[in-house]
Amino acid sequence: MARNALHDIKSSLDELIGEKVLLRANGGRRKTIERSGVLEETYPSVFVVRLEPSDGSFERVSYSYADLLTETVELMVCKNGDNVKITYTRSQ
């Protein structure tokens, strides 16, 4: 079942390529990292976000679809000035 859930997550992210997103990830030691960028690409196991430059340089980060499923990473799509959280549920 988890395989289907991960495939569903990838499929839904495929439709969001090019959209502005907000990432919230666990940075360890009770720190939360929050960055914005553009969903750039999806691969079989990971997705890539091009971050907005904080110091004039471009950065890219990648996370696995399992990170979204386990809520290690939260992903919000920025549409019309609103941030819409993308959530996924595990099938039993």
Q: Where are the domains of the chain?
A: 2-86
Could you give the CA distance from residue 7 to residue 9 in angstroms, rounded to a whole number?
5
23-43 pLDDT, tens per residue?
Answer: 998 877 888 888 899 999 999
Q: 74, 84 in Cβ contact below 8 A? A: no
Q: Strands 46-51 and 31-42: what pairing?
A: antiparallel
For residue 90, the model assigns a pLDDT of 58
Antiparallel, parallel or unpaired: β 31-42 and 59-64: unpaired
Report yes or no: 77 and 84 within 8 Å, Cβ to Cβ.
Answer: yes
Q: What is the pLDDT of residues 67-83, one digit of tens each?
A: 998 888 999 998 776 77
Q: Is the pTM of this model over 0.75?
A: yes
Q: Domain 2-86 adopts which CATH fold?
A: SH3 type barrels. (2.30.30)
